[in-house]
Amino acid sequence: MSKGHAKIGLSEGIGAIGTGSVGRRWQLRQLASDTFVYAVTMLLVRLLTFLLTPLYTNVLQPEAFGEVSYLFALLAFANVVLALGWESAYMRFAAERQGEARRAVFAYAWGTMVVNGALLCLGVWIAAPVLAPVLQLSRLGAEGVRAAALVMLLDGVAVVPLAELRLRRRPLWYGGLRLVNAVVQVAATVLFVLVWRWGAPGVLWAGVVASASTAVGTAPVIARLFRWQWQAGLYWEMLRYGLPAVPAALASIALHVVDRPLLMLLADAQAVGIYQANYRLALPMLLMVTVFEYAWRPFFLQQAQRPDGPQLFAAVFWRWNLTAALFFVGMVLWIPVLAQMPIGGGFLIHPDYWEGLDIVPIVAAGYVLFGIYVFAAAAAHIRKRTERLAGAMILAAVTNIGLLLLLVPWLGYRGAAWATLGAYTVAALAMLLFAQRLYPVPYPWGRVGGVWGIAGIVAILGMGSPIIGRLLWSVVAVGLLWGWWRIWRGSV
């Protein structure tokens, strides 16, 4: 037996381990292990990139740093258009194929990404002298636009190979590439911006070097899987699956960023500053959702055909909500303390921003609802009905805009926070409704409702307490949630 067949046989044998409680526990441990690796990696990456903030703000003028941030935001939208849903299509179709059939799926997804990226990069490169003034990039100029185009191309080269690493459950390799990217980004930025004094364009060129390091790191995956062949039916089937995900991805990005420009239009720059500073304090909850999603997608694609798949997913949902509730209580009780903690004669967040600390629980609750959306979205991928993702995200984005227009004139930046929570609630409810029609899962709503009832009561009672009180309420939360878990542990 060849090594390749041995690996496939082992994988199939592992996937066939019991369909009862023992098999579910083993799969849950695997999911928890992958999630832990993704979590540690992303925490390290976020820490490294955060270390660049003092450099940016001390070396670059605010206007120059603003142009860099603006251009990277535009790149986020450009990457969605470039991808055309091929990452999602690859993960869905490769999950059910091996050998040459899997290589065909890889060839279409990766080859299309590279061709699209090359054409788009070439067009932007040629048009850069015109695009720079149109985009009001007076400090970055054509050089910055061209560097951004190279970042877009190199990121596109790596997207599908990185998806393959996730699908094969190689979190260490995947996480290592992400960590190397962050290290290279920091080192190159220090060299280009601080040492060589390239200014704002240096930030973009550092991004080029970092993206190139990731593309090179995925070369073994590309070499192993890329074999050009043509199956028109498979290509168009993948394209039909992936394209509906593009509006959803665009709506998702809009959902995350549309509140800033609307808040500027309806309030003022000071409101945007206070809102942005405190909004970022809720990012740990988003990070928790993100690391779970990295492990969750390959997990549900591989386990969806199990006879007890719905019961397995219900068990994951119950455990995720329990973990998220503990995390939420910890954030609500301790983020304000950390934000006001004296550091080197100053504070982590300047006192001018403290008045907005009350939006942190609102935004964090929104991210919890986003996590539930991520969980329910599995059904759309399993049944190849990705247009449901687009529907839920577009509905949420429209809700967000409507609530912003309604609440910001009344509540200021707090209205923007409530609009975020409302939009994520709509996304979660819509996706849950779609999911139960596509792939019914027996969610334990009574148990989950009890978890969030405990978390909400403790958070409300403890958020105004002094430090000793917060410690006591933290212990109470852990005790009550642990007791709730023990009561229902054997039922899922």
Confidence at residue 12, expressed as pLDDT on a 0 to 100 scale = 38
Confidence at residue 322, expressed as pLDDT on a 0 to 100 scale = 92
Q: What residues are paired with 343 via a beta bridge?
A: 346
Going from the C-alpha of 351 to that of each of 247, 336, 340, 342, 462, the distances in angstroms are: 40, 11, 7, 11, 22
Angle ∠(488,321,373) on CA atoms, nearest 5: 135
| H helix count then E strand count, the chain | 22, 2
Confidence at residue 372, expressed as pLDDT on a 0 to 100 scale = 93
Confirm if 403 and 423 have CB atoms less than 8 A apart: yes
Report how far residue 357's alpha carbon sits from residue 85's, in angstroms, rounded to the nearest whole number. Answer: 37
Q: Render pLDDT for 309-352 as a digit per residue (tens, 0 to 9).
A: 888 888 889 889 999 999 999 999 998 888 777 766 656 666 77
Q: What is the mean pLDDT of the chain?
A: 79
Report how far residue 177's alpha carbon sits from residue 259's, in angstroms, rounded to the nearest whole number. Answer: 32
Report how far residue 379's alpha carbon sits from residue 296's, in angstroms, rounded to the nearest whole number. Answer: 12
Report how far residue 329's alpha carbon sits from residue 477's, in angstroms, rounded to the nearest whole number. Answer: 7
Residue 266 CB: number of other CB atoms within 10 A?
A: 17
Residues of the chain with pLDDT under 70: 1-35, 38-39, 50-58, 60-67, 69-70, 91, 95-102, 229-234, 245, 248, 260-261, 264, 268-273, 343-350, 489-492
Confidence at residue 425, expressed as pLDDT on a 0 to 100 scale = 95
Report residue 353 as tokens. 């921003």
Residue 61 CB: number of other CB atoms within 10 A?
A: 12
Report residue 258 as tokens. 């549309």
Element (H or E) spanning 161, and its range?
helix 141-167
Confidence at residue 350, expressed as pLDDT on a 0 to 100 scale = 66
Q: Render pLDDT for 21-66 as a digit per residue (tens, 0 to 9).
A: 555 566 666 666 666 776 677 778 877 776 665 566 567 665 666 5
Report how far residue 484's alpha carbon sits from residue 447's, in angstroms, rounded to the nearest whole number. Answer: 8
Confidence at residue 3, expressed as pLDDT on a 0 to 100 scale = 38
Within 377-386, where are the H helices? 378-382
User: What's at 435, amino acid-wise?
Assistant: A
Confidence at residue 7, expressed as pLDDT on a 0 to 100 scale = 37
Pairing of strands 342-343, 346-347: antiparallel
Please list, in sequence order, all residues whose beta carbon lies within 8 angstroms of the beta carbon of residue 120, skipping any fewer than 6 positions away: 78, 81, 82, 149, 152, 153
Confirm if 122 and 158 have CB atoms less than 8 A apart: no
Report residue 93 as tokens. 């179709």
Nearest to 49 by CA among 76, 69, 29, 35: 69
Confidence at residue 344, expressed as pLDDT on a 0 to 100 scale = 62
